[in-house]
Amino acid sequence: MADHPKPPAMRKTVPAAKRAGEPKRVQIPHGMEVASAWSWRFLVIVLAIIVIVRTLLFFELLLVPVVIAVLICALVVPTTDAMAIVMPRGLAAMLSLLGVIAVVAGLLALVGQQLASGFDDLANQVSDALGQIQDWLRTGPLHISQTELDDAIAGAQAWITSDNAHLAGRLAAVGATVGHVLAGFFVVLFTTYFLLYQGDLIWSWIVRLFPRDTREVVDGSGRAAWVSLTAFVRATVVVAFVDAVGITAVALILRVPLALPIGVLVFLGSFVPIVGATVSGSVAVLVALVAHGPLVAAFMLLGVIGVQQLEAHVLQPFLLGHAVSLHPLAVILAVSAGVVAAGIVGALIAVPVAAMLNTIVKYVTAASQPSAEP
């Protein structure tokens, strides 16, 4: 019987590399391939984030007023919607904006009047306190001589006044800062008005900038983020108001000077979660220490701690806990990142921005998942 040739599938083939005498290709482990694929993608994402952050910081003078306007709009838009039922929306937006301006101007006038009436007494108390500190340094356990104290005070004064050569540059920098603040103030005014007046039209225009097949997800995620932002702003105002009233009441009971300005400072500081009210409350303790000594300062400290406990265990869980679904560690990291990126303003807007991003990610993730079959 004649031998039949083997079919091609049964023939033993030799790789082309071996036939040509070429070296064998090194096989990369599968884990290494996966790690390298994830690594270059991670580097691309980090590079994109760096470019976005640097671009935003480049336009910081414009971006910060716009963000502040968005926060103000989130706070007063319910009032505008209610007034728009009985009057044109443009007029309702204007009245809402004038109401915000009146409230801010009233707070500033109150703080100015209190500072003008109580600053002289506080300055005298500070002078007396400094004298007591000097006496303690001389007669206390340190036994510092008067000559050493005078040398230290003279050295501090010389250090403060040693850089007068750059005074013109500093004044120019202050003038530029004042100009930026004024420009930002007008940007906030106009942006807030148009967001209150034509916010839906502006958002519809932004949605149309995206590809057609993604507009529904963009619109839904944006509206969900807006709901989260409005809830956060309103809850934060309530928390800040309770903190300010509580600490101001303690300061008034203890007859601490500048109680009302301290309350306004606490109200503004409470918009920075976790750390804001604590730092502003420490100012009240310091003023009490200077004005009335360590015993009253200790009672003031207990009052600040009590208000903080009320905020942390009652107000934060019931109000901000539902408005912002963020872990306390995430809040602290967001505030820290905001301070590094944009200073005090960054600390103010870090948590609402993080809350909005969290809501957007949750919405997009839920929308991308296929719906369960019935």
Indicate if 192 and 223 belong to the same structural domain.
no
Indicate if 335 and 263 belong to the same structural domain.
yes
Q: What is the model's pLDDT at position 239?
A: 82
Indicate if 278 and 222 belong to the same structural domain.
yes
Q: What is the model's pLDDT at position 266?
A: 84
Separation of alpha carbons 62 and 285, rounded Å: 37
Indicate if 286 and 362 belong to the same structural domain.
yes
Q: What is the model's pLDDT at position 373?
A: 45
Q: Is residue 32 part of a domain?
A: no
Q: Is residue 297 part of a domain?
A: yes
Are the C-beta atoms of residues 220 and 367 closer than 8 Å to each other? Answer: yes
Indicate if 225 and 362 belong to the same structural domain.
yes
Q: What is the model's pLDDT at position 37?
A: 84
Indicate if 109 and 235 belong to the same structural domain.
no
Domain that residue 194 falls in: 60-154+182-199
Are the C-beta atoms of residues 357 and 325 closer than 8 Å to each other? Answer: no
Are the C-beta atoms of residues 67 and 349 closer than 8 Å to each other? Answer: yes
Indicate if 195 and 219 belong to the same structural domain.
no
User: Which of these, 256, 327, 322, lies nearest to 286 by C-alpha position?
Assistant: 256
Are the C-beta atoms of residues 269 and 280 closer than 8 Å to each other? Answer: yes
pLDDT averaged per 10 residues, the chain (length 374): 52 52 66 84 90 80 84 89 91 92 84 68 60 62 63 60 53 63 85 90 91 89 87 83 87 84 82 70 81 82 84 67 66 77 74 84 79 48
Indicate if 70 and 188 belong to the same structural domain.
yes
Q: Is residue 22 part of a domain?
A: no
Indicate if 116 and 186 belong to the same structural domain.
yes
Q: Is residue 204 part of a domain?
A: no
